[in-house]
Amino acid sequence: MRVVYPGTFDPVHYGHVDLIERASRRFEAVDVTVFRNPAKVPTFSTEERVEMLRAAVGHLSNVTVSSFDGLAAAYARERGADALLRGLRPVLDFDFEFQMGMMNRKIAPEVDTIFLLTSPQHSFLSSTLIKEVAMFGGSLEGLVPEGVAERLRRALGAAGADRGSRPGRRT
């Protein structure tokens, strides 16, 4: 069985890696695919996100990493996938993921959506929160794979005194 795990992965974090590792034990082939989401402005280019993912999951022989611009269901059909894989964090994701799963089923009825619950130790992770922690100079230890933390710090800049007056949430 082939499964496609689509996402923006901006950046990849240990919650993503955990889902990919678990999927690799359950499926013959896992195609992790970096998608462009027009609703998001990514910190990293598609090529950088693919590169970071490849480094993070290179130890898994049945996992490939690619990119695609379009609909996840259409990509899954094109790749001959049996299913799309999605991760669910407690409460936070269900409504959105359910709606997206139904739309994907409408587009490609032969491709199921399979949900894996996020492991408890990663249930609070989101790329958005991780970028915020990096922006304000917080520790990224245990949140992102090796190499991603340094890339984030370079991309977002070191925390400075002028950031203290910046509007928005703080973690």
Which residues touch 112 (CB under 8 Å, ≥6 apart)?
82, 83, 84, 105
132 lies in the same domain as 104: no
What is the CATH classification number for the domain harbouring 23? 3.40.50.620
Residue 145 domain boundaries: 127-165
Question: What is the predicted pLDDT for the residue at 158?
Answer: 54
* Active-site residue, selected from the candidate residues 26, 36, 40, 154: 40
Give the length of the chain.
171
Whether residues 131 and 115 fall in one domain: no
Identity of the residue numbered 5:
Y
Distance CA 151, CA 164 (A): 22
Catalytic, out of 89, 131, 151, 153: 89
Whether 165 is catalytic: no
Q: Would you say residue 88 lies in a domain?
A: yes
Task: Please indicate, yes or no, whether residues 92 and 150 belong to a single structural domain of this protein.
Answer: no
103, 72 contact by CB (below 8 A): no
What is the pLDDT tens value at each position of the chain, 171 positions in all?
999 999 999 999 999 999 999 999 999 999 999 998 788 889 999 999 999 999 999 999 999 999 999 999 999 999 999 999 999 887 667 888 888 899 999 999 999 999 999 998 998 899 999 999 999 989 999 999 989 999 998 998 754 333 333 334 334
Nearest to 149 by CA among 31, 55, 8: 55
pTM score of the predicted model: 0.86
Clarify whether 40 is annotated catalytic: yes
Q: Which pLDDT belongs to residue 168?
A: 40
Active-site residue identified among 16, 79, 86, 122: 16
